A and B are shown apart, each in its own frame.
Chain A
């Protein structure tokens, strides 16, 4: 038992590199030529290139954020925005090139697919290398495919929704995203279809000094239901890598979507990701978000409660260690009547890490009889780490119930002593306390992912005691 534990702590299954063995890697930097070249490489319709060029223009005009972590280390001249792996998209793992297949094997993806997923997408650098969905779901009209194929096979559907949830001009990095986006998943669940098992897309960035800009678009039609899981990881390099993905979610009347993410980026990653959901009448979206790794993260999933009676829950955890600044949180806009949101955020910081919970709650004048409750807890494992909360609340009518609770504290020496008096080492004691602290999130995940999350916590705690 003790031995297994040690091995678990010492093997970081995420941090293995394959040779930078690409088919095509675009030259570093960002320019019109580069954007045009990406479009050409992808052989995509001209309306997509038009969006890219408009986005590039927006990127050049928009200013850097004036708040949040310092992004000076990010220099687009050092980033290759498109890396095409030596692989084409397959629907059988045996057809995926050996080194790439091994990567996903190590990450446990094919096994998960066999055991409890209804479909899987796997992206390696800028392109999706594997996509598959169970036949019976296809028969019910469920679409689950990579985003490039969706552009070609379902152009009307894509045109109707693409950029309509997260507009090009929303902020500088979303403009960047639309200029160079590549890969990602497209999901359509038809009216009334309820998926029993989750779909999962996994994004792996292997290539150094590059960026990943996948676009995920999900439409859950009236009365349908879906659990979508997103996983991300990358090996560690000495130079900056960039992730600026975008997730657009459309959840129709009476539909349900659970969107779970476990991100475990390497510690050289700038993770500037944008996710948003628009909810129609009586729709519900649950966000479960685990943010591990990355050098800097700016990640604030957002729910727009447009329809009456729509509701959303956000349960998030982030873990910031040495040299990490994780700026995460949740945004919600209540537009419809009787809308409700419940936010529970937890952050852990150690070895000088900074974990900030940044939130926005906006309740518009017409959103009468709405409810919002926010609770955030921060746990600092030592005196040099930081946990902050920066809430912005804008409540524009008085027929609402709104509560906000924030608790930030250091890990209790008394609790550590108590656990040690029961035979646990200092390290085990801290790990137990942290796992307990994280349990509101891990409880929301399927068991396999909860195990995965605990393992990430153990990895983060490794070497945390002198």
Chain B
């Protein structure tokens, strides 16, 4: 199996508080990984650190992607190398339509000129498969979108940009049951043996359509246990109490 992402001893602080405290993770091509953990454990911090969000300072560790050290790369370079993150709280960008945004992003990521007509058809196809109102594509980016529409828009971007590796940070939260199913199918549509997915979630619902390889429990900035879907189901039933002993 070919390695896609390797994280070694990752330590991150936000403002003056250390959040990640030595995190290790290896993801191979073709795999689906899941991270679960209590609120404030550092899941979003991990996603933001991988993408070099300047608000999150790396104090130790190394991140390798596709054989290249990306620890100190800038966010846009990392994105162009093929890492995509679906945001827990997506941004609104007034004055730019979803379509024009996607066109710009696709152009930046591929370095190629994007032709409007073909690309539009492609986007409309994805929107349909995500059960999105096609009019959203012409509206200002996320402005006035419902919480669920914003999350679907994240998945729409994932499909349009076809990255090599995606991090889905609680894409399922705020979605109704039908929408979760649709998004789960969307992820399945994207997934192949050359890419990989990291799902951050509090529930197993979104995993139903996916073949999950590993489930990690993240508590207080570290991965404390790794298992299979069984582990996710156990957490869903019993919570994190049993794993919290090393806390503080």
**Closest CB-CB distance, A257 to chain B, in whole Å?**
26
Interface centre among A419, A425, A440 (most CB of B within 10 A): A419
Residues of chain A in range 417-466 having any CB-CB distance to chain B below 8 Å: 417-426, 428-429, 432-433, 435-440
**Contact, CB under 8 Å: B94 / A420:** no
Complex Cα gap A344–B104 (Å): 28
Complex Cα gap A426–B75 (Å): 9
**Contact, CB under 8 Å: A413 / B79:** no
Complex Cα gap A415–B51 (Å): 14
A419 neighbours in B (Cβ, 8 Å): 91, 93
B109 neighbours in A (Cβ, 8 Å): 422-423
**Contact, CB under 8 Å: B96 / A418:** no
Contacts A1-B113, A2-B111, A413-B54; A421 near B94 (Cβ below 8 A): no
* B72 contacts the other chain (CB 8 A): no
Contacts A426-B76, A428-B108, A432-B104; A421 near B85 (Cβ below 8 A): yes
Taking residues whose C-beta sits less than 8 angstroms from the other chain, chain A's interface range is 20 to 34
* A21 contacts the other chain (CB 8 A): no
* B194 contacts the other chain (CB 8 A): no
Complex Cα gap A436–B139 (Å): 12
Complex Cα gap A1–B110 (Å): 11
* A412 contacts the other chain (CB 8 A): yes
**Contact, CB under 8 Å: B75 / A436:** no
**Closest CB-CB distance, B62 to chain A, in whole Å?**
20
Residues of chain B in range 80-128 having any CB-CB distance to chain A below 8 Å: 80, 84-85, 87, 90-91, 93-96, 101, 104-105, 107-109, 111-113
* A139 contacts the other chain (CB 8 A): no
Residues of chain B in range 36-91 having any CB-CB distance to chain A below 8 Å: 51, 53-55, 74-76, 78-80, 84-85, 87, 90-91
Residue of B nearest to A442 (CB): B95
Interface centre among B54, B76, B104, B141 (most CB of A within 10 A): B76
**Contact, CB under 8 Å: B95 / A437:** yes
Chain A: interface secondary structure?
Answer: helix
Contacts A435-B95, A435-B96, A437-B95; A423 near B55 (Cβ below 8 A): no
Complex Cα gap A420–B75 (Å): 6
Complex Cα gap A236–B132 (Å): 51
* A414 contacts the other chain (CB 8 A): yes
Residue of A nearest to B89 (CB): A414
Contacts A1-B113, A413-B55; A424 near B93 (Cβ below 8 A): no
Taking residues whose C-beta sits less than 8 angstroms from the other chain, chain B's interface range is 20 to 34
**Contact, CB under 8 Å: A433 / B75:** no
A435 neighbours in B (Cβ, 8 Å): 95-96
One of A414, A423, A428, A440 near B91 (C-beta < 8 A): A414
**Contact, CB under 8 Å: B108 / A424:** yes
Interface centre among B54, B93, B157 (most CB of A within 10 A): B93
**Contact, CB under 8 Å: B108 / A415:** no
**Contact, CB under 8 Å: A420 / B91:** no
Chain B: interface secondary structure?
Answer: mixed
Contacts A1-B113, A423-B80, A423-B105; A437 near B53 (Cβ below 8 A): no
A420 neighbours in B (Cβ, 8 Å): 74-76, 79
**Contact, CB under 8 Å: B105 / A424:** yes
* B161 contacts the other chain (CB 8 A): yes
Complex Cα gap A425–B113 (Å): 17
**Contact, CB under 8 Å: B105 / A422:** yes
A415 neighbours in B (Cβ, 8 Å): 91, 93
Complex Cα gap A432–B54 (Å): 19
Complex Cα gap A55–B98 (Å): 54
**Contact, CB under 8 Å: B157 / A418:** no
Complex Cα gap A415–B53 (Å): 11
**Contact, CB under 8 Å: A418 / B111:** no
One of A1, A422, A439 near B94 (C-beta < 8 A): A439
Residue of B nearest to A412 (CB): B91
Complex Cα gap A421–B85 (Å): 7
A437 neighbours in B (Cβ, 8 Å): 94-95
**Contact, CB under 8 Å: B54 / A417:** yes
Complex Cα gap A424–B110 (Å): 11
Complex Cα gap A413–B105 (Å): 18
A432 neighbours in B (Cβ, 8 Å): 93, 96, 101, 104
B96 neighbours in A (Cβ, 8 Å): 432, 435-436, 439
**Closest CB-CB distance, B150 to chain A, in whole Å?**
12
**Contact, CB under 8 Å: A418 / B87:** yes
Residue of B nearest to A4 (CB): B113
B54 neighbours in A (Cβ, 8 Å): 413, 417
**Contact, CB under 8 Å: B95 / A425:** no
**Contact, CB under 8 Å: A438 / B95:** yes
Residue of B nearest to A425 (CB): B76
**Contact, CB under 8 Å: B157 / A422:** yes
Complex Cα gap A424–B53 (Å): 14
A413 neighbours in B (Cβ, 8 Å): 54-55
A424 neighbours in B (Cβ, 8 Å): 76, 104-105, 108
One of A412, A414, A422, A436 near B108 (C-beta < 8 A): A422
**Contact, CB under 8 Å: B161 / A418:** no
One of B74, B78, B84, B95 near A440 (C-beta < 8 A): B95
B75 neighbours in A (Cβ, 8 Å): 417, 420-421
Complex Cα gap A415–B80 (Å): 18
**Contact, CB under 8 Å: B112 / A1:** yes
Q: List 17 A-B contacts (CB under 8 A).
A: A417-B75, A418-B90, A420-B75, A421-B51, A421-B79, A422-B157, A423-B76, A423-B108, A424-B104, A425-B76, A428-B104, A428-B108, A432-B93, A433-B93, A436-B94, A437-B95, A439-B94
B residues lining the A interface (CB < 8 Å): 51, 53-55, 74-76, 78-80, 84-85, 87, 90-91, 93-96, 101, 104-105, 107-109, 111-113, 140-141, 157, 161
Across chains A and B, which 9 residue pairs bring their CB atoms closest together, nearest first? Answer: A436-B95, A439-B95, A423-B108, A420-B75, A422-B105, A423-B109, A418-B91, A423-B79, A420-B76
Sample of 18 more A-B contacts, CB < 8 Å, known A421-B75, A438-B95, A439-B94: A414-B91, A417-B53, A417-B54, A417-B55, A419-B91, A420-B76, A421-B76, A422-B79, A422-B105, A422-B108, A422-B157, A422-B161, A423-B109, A425-B76, A428-B104, A436-B141, A437-B94, A440-B95
